[in-house]
Amino acid sequence: MTLGPPKGRRAVILVVDDDALITLNMVDQLSDLGHVALEAYSASEALAMLRERGDIDMLVTDFSMPGMNGVELAEAALAHNPGLIVLLTSGYADLPEGIACKFPRLEKPFREDEFHAKIGELLAAPVE
């Protein structure tokens, strides 16, 4: 078991959402917290970034996106980077039937303080 990024170290966080306003808002919030925030607007763009960069600590992804949903993206990302921390965001109170989700979730719309707290919690948690 290893720990997420040490307290005080800036995490590199990739935010993925097909809605540009939501993506940019989360990126701005993460930057304000002192993290390095990257943005992608599709699962394929996110996977390409994850393959190109070896320094991404965390993936924050929307569930509902065209082509590949957030759970599928997270599973593909973890196959490439098993230590990646994942946070799934979703406007659904419950995910559609048949979708198994083992990832921490934050339901949209969420408040800024809820987002900050969840990011801090996940970065401080041990990573298996």
Which runs of consecutive H residues, i.e. helices, occur in the chain? 20-32, 43-52, 70-80, 112-124
pLDDT at 7: 53
User: What's the rounded mean pLDDT across residues 11-37?
Assistant: 96
Percent of the chain with pLDDT over 90: 70
Chain mean pLDDT for the chain: 87
| Residue 94, pLDDT above cutoff 70 | no
Q: Which amino acid is at 89?
A: T
pLDDT at 1: 39
Q: CATH for 12-127?
A: 3.40.50.2300
- For 33-80, what is each residue's pLDDT tens digit? 999 999 999 999 999 999 999 999 999 999 888 999 999 999 999 998
Whole-structure pTM value: 0.87
Rama region for 124: left / alpha / beta (φ>0; ψ in -120 to 50; rest):
alpha
Rounded (10°) angle between helices 20-32 and 112-124: 60
Q: Between these two residues, 3 and 22, which has the higher pLDDT value?
A: 22
